[in-house]
Chain A
Amino acid sequence: MTEPRPRYLLNFADETALKSALDRLPSDKLEIVDAFLPFGDEEIAERIGAGRNRLNLVTLVGGLCGAGFIFALQAYSFLVAYPFDSGGRPSLSWPAFLIPTFEIGVLAAVLAAAIAMFRANGLPRYHHPLFEVPRFERTTQDELALLVRSLDGSYPGGRDALLSFGATSVSEVWE
């Protein structure tokens, strides 16, 4: 069994600091696990290759399914379940059906997008090692952070060496 490889949480004051750190971190010794920000930032996500998704497709499919279902339901109720004469309208009065179809379509699409997003993000998750790191809480307020893992054993120099990459603080994270 290999001895546990420590992870380090590097906090940065702002994204410029974080980005420069990204340039300088030795990719042979350190693997960047994730970045944590108080706001969204496409560029950082791109650089650490996080959060690719097919949400557009999911949403489209979800919407179409919802719409299709409700239209089918309406057609079924009027043609099969309970055909009746309502002011001389034809049984398949599709123009009227379009409104519920649209509404439910939108509903399904929105729910699909929301649920897919949370699932892809692995949320809800109430217990996470990072929550044990006191400094981590700043990442939801005013600091940014990088989570790195050394590729072999513990990083030479440990915390102090890592501070040199411009981090305001370095905390060890244990599984």
Chain B
Amino acid sequence: MTTAADSSLHAAEPGSAPVVADRGLSRDVSDVVLERPTSRAWLIWALASLALTMVFAYAILHLFIAGVGIWGVNTSVVWGLALTNYVWWIGIGNAGTLISSMLYLTRQDWRSSINRFAEAMTLFAALIAGLFPILHLGRPWLFAWLVPYPTTMGLPPNFNSPLVWDFFAIAVYLIVSLTFWYIGAVPDFATLRDRARLRRQQVFYGILALGWRGSAGHWRRYERAYILIAALATPLVVSVHSVVGLDFAASVAPGWNEPIYPPYFVVGAMYSGFAMVVVLAAIIRSAFNLHAYITERHFDLMGKMMLFGALVLGYSYAMESFIGWYSAEDMHLSIVVYKATGDYWWVFWSLIACNVVIPQALWFPAARRRILPLVVIAILINIGMWLERYGIIVFTLSHGHMPSGRADYMPTVWDWALTIGSLGFFLLLFLVLVRLVPIVSMHEMRKLLRGRVQ
């Protein structure tokens, strides 16, 4: 009543357009979580993803009861889809933090409208990624032995092992991403707290807001802390995927023992991450008609990022093969040949197509600015990146040094159940999130709009 009257009053005043924008912004964004009723579309999606999540849970339960033998892994190819999915998910988990931190540091203010859900995506992807190495263990209930704590056997973890590095990287990355995401959201929680009408909403967001009052002092320390964390998160992201690269590069296996792996994993991660952001952005945008906040410009820019990724990745592939030939190391060469012509040639060639060839379409602005083609390309890239990780694991393990130890690998229904299930779980988490948390960072948008006026 009063508020409504006031707002109309101010609307009349000159130069106060931003205020209206503010007000509109706060309303548009927070209504999504506070006011708007759950749409049928949302319900359908939620149920579908819930079903897949059940598949996920069932696959895990059966895995724990029966053992990893239910998968297609064998004496030669001891790693399979579990680790493929791990690398793929952690890759997707990269983009969020990259977008928010790196673009924040480089003052790419357009990030403000996508960083919130990009970070959420990071969080969930990293969470799911973190599950796979544990599920993949022969005795998963003992995974805690990777933590440096005084175990019953008084045994520290082996800090030489890339898996221990991995553990540290993933754990740290999860915590930091969560912190970063939460800190970024606190002022918006305060807004929701103050806009909420229902008691339970007020309590819920009130707790999350920690009593944020938006005093000038709060803001000053807040922004300082935020930029510090952003500055720390950026190298962290890079390190996380470099470590994943080291899982392979630190071995003696032909095709894995490649110095190029860490950087090339980082780019690959950013690449698939951006592709996933594009897909999610398109969905959210249409689902909650936020066209005003997520514009063609955003897609255009992300399209350029993906193009960049495609080029660097193409270069890495080329380099891998070139070094294979240049090193004149017969095993190295044989694996290169095996990739392109061996049992899994189709994996190799389709990943080249999805990751390098098709994205070249992004040279054309039309492909970048129109949503449909961009989303299609993005999905293809995600498939391609999954295939790349599949290839990295299967190529080498099925074609090792020892000819007698060469055997092929065929995923079982349980491998697939876990893979598909994880997608459902991810989607479910995301759908729940958009109902609880403002998917666009309101306070950053406000600042952005102010900037426009002055």
Chain A 17-28 interface mask (CB, 8 Å, partner B; 1/0): 000000000000
Expressed in whole angstroms, the Cα–Cα distance for A51 and B207 within the complex equals 23
B417 within 8 A of partner (CB): no
A51 shortest CB reach to chain B, Å: 3
| Interface stretch of the complex, out of B69-77, B230-238, B265-273, B387-395 | B230-238
B290 within 8 A of partner (CB): no
Contacts of B7 in A (CB 8 A): 142
A36 within 8 A of partner (CB): yes
Q: Are A100 and B168 in contact (CB under 8 A)?
A: yes
Contacts of A137 in B (CB 8 A): 194-195
Question: Which chain B residues (116-175) contact chain A, with CB distance < 8 Å?
Answer: 148, 154-156, 158-160, 164-165, 168-169, 172, 175
A36-B213, A39-B447 are contacts. A141–B154 as well, Cβ < 8 Å?
Answer: no
* Chain B residues bordering chain A, tally (CB within 8 A): 67
Question: Which chain B residues (1-35) contact chain A, with CB distance < 8 Å?
Answer: 3, 6-7, 10, 13, 15-16, 18-19, 22-23, 26
The prevalent SS among residues of B at the interface is helix
| Interface stretch of the complex, out of B49-57, B218-226, B346-354, B420-428 | B218-226
Expressed in whole angstroms, the Cα–Cα distance for A164 and B55 within the complex equals 66
| Interface stretch of the complex, out of B78-86, B185-193, B274-282, B431-439 | B185-193
Chain A 86-125 interface mask (CB, 8 Å, partner B; 1/0): 1101000100110110111011011101101110110111
A41 within 8 A of partner (CB): yes
Expressed in whole angstroms, the Cα–Cα distance for A11 and B51 within the complex equals 50
Q: Are B225 and A116 in contact (CB under 8 A)?
A: yes
Chain A residue, CB-CB nearest to B215 = A34
Q: Are B450 and A96 in contact (CB under 8 A)?
A: no
23 contacts between A and B (CB under 8 A): A14-B15, A37-B214, A37-B219, A38-B22, A38-B187, A38-B443, A39-B446, A39-B447, A41-B216, A42-B223, A52-B220, A59-B228, A77-B148, A93-B159, A99-B168, A99-B169, A107-B175, A117-B224, A121-B215, A126-B210, A138-B194, A141-B23, A142-B19
Sorted from nearest, which 10 A-B pairs have the closest CB atoms?
A51-B220, A51-B217, A77-B156, A50-B217, A137-B194, A40-B219, A117-B225, A124-B210, A45-B216, A142-B22
